[in-house]
């Protein structure tokens, strides 16, 4: 599934455990259908209840969809790192937020990091498809 803002792919994150799972699924559906305000409300409740990076990523997507690039950047930064590699969806979301804030150089830097990860990953690693999607989203936004 690919969303309209960041090339969002639910496979980029593990599911949130516990009762929050249904709310996360609901937020994903709302984002996929473009209902950012409703998704943002659901996610606001979740942010206080979990430290999940997935929830923060989705909150970033919702904020970006609502035109709040500053808020989106904050949530994408909170969801960014997995070990030494950034989540491709979070990185592309952060790049889009930077573009909307007028920071094209920062977005170019993020694109370079994505390309570097792609080069190291190759075409057969588990991150290949999300990296390809993230790079395409950022390249299109910068064009």
For residues 24-58, one letter each, b for 16 or more C-beta atoms within 10 angstroms of the residue's C-beta and e for the rest, the string is beebbebbbeebbebbbebbeebeeebebbbbbbb
Region 20-36: what's the mean pLDDT? 89
pLDDT value at 111 more than 70:
yes
- Tell me the C-alpha to C-alpha distance, in Å, between residue 17 and each of 20, 23, 50: 7, 11, 10
More confident residue, 57 or 21: 57
Report the distance separating Cα 123 and Cα 135, nearest Å: 14
> Is the whole-model pTM more than 0.75?
yes
Provide the pLDDT confidence category of residue 109 given band limits of 50, 70 and 90. very high
């Amino acid at each position: 599934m690919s969303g309209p803002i960041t090339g969002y792919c639910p496979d980029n994150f593990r599911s949130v455990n516990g009762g929050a799972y249904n709310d996360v699924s609901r937020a994903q559906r709302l984002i996929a259908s473009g209902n950012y305000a409703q998704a943002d409300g659901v996610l606001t409740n979740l942010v206080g209840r979990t430290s999940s990076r997935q929830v923060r990523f989705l909150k970033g997507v919702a904020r970006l969809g609502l035109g709040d690039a500053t808020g989106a950047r904050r949530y994408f930064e909170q969801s960014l790192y997995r070990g030494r590699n950034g989540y491709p969806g979070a990185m592309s979301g952060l790049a889009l937020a930077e573009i909307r804030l007028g920071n094209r150089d920062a977005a170019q830097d993020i694109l370079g990091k994505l390309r570097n990860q792609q080069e190291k990953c190759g075409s057969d690693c588990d991150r290949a498809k999300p990296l390809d999607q993230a790079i395409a989203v950022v390249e299109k936004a910068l064009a």
